[in-house]
């Protein structure tokens, strides 16, 4: 009996050890490495570094004006993600949860952009929004609305919102699917009881659907805040942070510092600040959601 139990332990660790080694080499070790280099001046190439302790963090908050600009853009992005995108996602999820003909086709249409490569979708939308050859401006001019034909990605005031619209098109389907999963867990008898009491559709949503959906809403909001702080691919592929600094985000700033300026120590410090902010946001959101559930 004891030999069988010992053999079971060996089998368990034999199966799990390769996964732990891979996780340590490609997950845990790089995280610790970045923490180490965040206190240094390191170019990522020579292998030599110089200890500067908290100098990178001090520079980030006091001497780098572009960080403030990027943080402001990330805040705008976060408001858009958490408010606008989630309201639209919940609205479409409620519509798609109804018993309508062909609803599975509509669900697939909304989710399709999520699985399209960011490179491909960014390239197509860059062409659509092109000021001279873009199909959007061509369409506006053809219907007599030429005054609304802009340089969507080259205008300082419009570039960020244009990229956010593309990101909305690309990622809203993911949140719709999560909301749909939450809606399908609502007991049918509660909705039927609300119908018997004569509740309208809006009243049923406010009094029955939304309170039960709160855990899902909290999770989606946490994921949205996470995505807003880590937003990178669409912006980098379409504008690279330009024109000027009009679409620069924390992650595009971080990548530029690391791979264009070879300031890996400074970039590591930025990454750890983002990580701490994400932890705080997740903790605050979790506490808020639990209080609302109670």
Nearest by Cα to 170 from 89, 226, 75, 90: 89
SS3 category, 49? strand
72 and 200 belong to one structural domain = yes
How far is 129 from 125, CA to CA, in rounded Å? Answer: 6
- Chain segment 150-202, per-residue pLDDT in tens: 999 999 999 999 999 999 999 999 999 999 998 888 888 877 787 777 777 77
Residues 70 and 192 reside in one and the same domain: yes
* Domain contains 58: no
Summarize pLDDT for 99-125 with one digit per residue, the tens. Answer: 778 788 888 889 999 999 999 999 999
Number of domains in the chain: 2
Cα–Cα distance, 58 to 96 (Å, whole number) = 49
- Burial class (CB within 10 angstroms; exposed 0-12, middle 13-18, buried 19+) of 175: buried
105 and 243 together in one domain? yes
213: pLDDT strictly greater than 80:
yes
> Region 201-217: what's the mean pLDDT?
83
Structure tokens at 143: 């219907």
Percentage of the chain surpassing pLDDT 70? 96
> Does residue 236 sit in the same domain as residue 103?
yes
Residue 52 lies in a domain: no
Neighbours of 282 (CB within 10 A): 14
Residue 1 pLDDT > 70: no
126 and 3 within one domain: no
In a domain, 40, yes or no: no
If we measure between CA atoms, which residue out of 180, 198, 206 comes closest to residue 110?
A: 180
| Measured distance CA(92)–CA(180) in Å, rounded | 9
**DSSP symbols for 122-181:** HHHHHHHT-TTT-HHHHHHHHTT-GGG---TTT-TTTHHHHHHHHHHHHHHHHHHHHHHH
C-alpha torsion sign, points 173, 179, 181, 184: negative
CA angle 229, 235, 238 (to 5 degrees): 175
Whether 158 and 21 map to the same domain: the answer is no
Same structural domain for residues 202 and 268? yes
Q: Residue 222 belongs to what domain range?
A: 64-293
Distance between CA atoms of 171 and 82, rounded to whole angstroms? 13
The domain that contains 276 carries what CATH number? 1.10.3720.10
Those residues whose C-beta lies under 8 Å from the C-beta of residue 60, and which sit 6 or more positions away, are: 67, 266, 269, 270, 273
Please give the pLDDT value at position 38.
92
- Whether 130 is in a domain gets the answer yes
Residue 281 shares a structural domain with residue 192: yes
pLDDT at 73 exceeding the cut of 90: yes
Residues 71 and 187 placed together within one structural domain of the fold: yes
Q: What's the mean pLDDT when you consider all of the chain?
A: 87
Q: Is the pTM of this model over 0.85?
A: no
Same domain, 81 and 164: yes
> Which residues, listed in sequence order, are joined to residue 42 by a DSSP beta bridge?
49
Cα gap 223→200, rounded to integer Å: 31
Whether 241 is covered by a domain: the verdict is: yes
Indicate if 82 and 2 belong to the same structural domain.
no
Question: Does 278 lie in the same domain as 164?
Answer: yes
Residues 6+ apart with CB under 8 A from 159: 152, 153, 239, 242, 243, 246, 247
Tell me, yes or no, whether 45 lies in a domain: no
Residue 140 CB: number of other CB atoms within 10 A? 16
- How would you label 58-89 residue by residue, b for 16+ Cβ within 10 Å and e otherwise? eebeeebeebebbbebbeebbebbbeebbeeb
Q: How far is CA 280 from CA 29, 35, 222, 226, 287, in A?
A: 23, 18, 10, 11, 11
* 159 domain-assigned: yes
- Residue 260 forms part of a structural domain: yes
């Amino acid at each position: 009996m004891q030999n069988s139990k010992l053999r079971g332990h060996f089998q368990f660790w034999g199966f799990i050890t390769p996964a732990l080694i891979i996780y340590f080499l490609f997950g845990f070790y790089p995280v610790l490495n970045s923490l180490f280099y965040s206190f240094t001046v390191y170019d990522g190439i020579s292998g030599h570094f110089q200890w500067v302790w908290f100098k990178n963090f001090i520079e980030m908050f006091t001497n780098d004006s572009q960080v403030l600009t990027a943080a402001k853009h990330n805040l705008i992005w976060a408001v858009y993600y958490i408010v606008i995108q989630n309201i639209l996602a919940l609205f479409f999820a409620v519509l798609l949860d109804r018993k309508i003909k062909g609803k599975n086709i509509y669900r697939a249409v909304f989710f399709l952009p999520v699985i399209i490569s960011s490179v491909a979708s960014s390239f197509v939308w860059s062409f659509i929004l092109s000021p001279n050859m873009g199909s959007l401006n061509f369409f506006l001019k053809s219907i007599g609305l030429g005054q609304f034909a802009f340089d969507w990605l080259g205008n300082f005031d419009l570039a960020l919102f244009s990229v956010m619209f593309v990101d909305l098109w690309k990622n809203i389907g993911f949140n719709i699917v999560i909301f749909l999963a939450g809606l399908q867990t609502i007991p049918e008898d509660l909705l039927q009881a609300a119908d018997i009491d004569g509740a309208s559709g809006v009243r049923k949503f406010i009094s029955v659907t939304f309170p039960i959906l709160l855990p899902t809403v909290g999770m989606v909001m946490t994921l949205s805040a996470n995505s807003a702080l880590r937003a990178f691919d669409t912006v980098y592929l379409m504008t690279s942070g330009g024109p000027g600094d009009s679409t620069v985000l924390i992650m595009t700033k971080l990548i530029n510092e690391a791979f264009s300026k070879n300031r890996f120590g400074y970039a590591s410090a930025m990454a750890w600040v983002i990580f701490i902010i994400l932890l705080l946001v997740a903790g605050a959101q979790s506490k808020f959601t639990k209080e609302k559930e109670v």
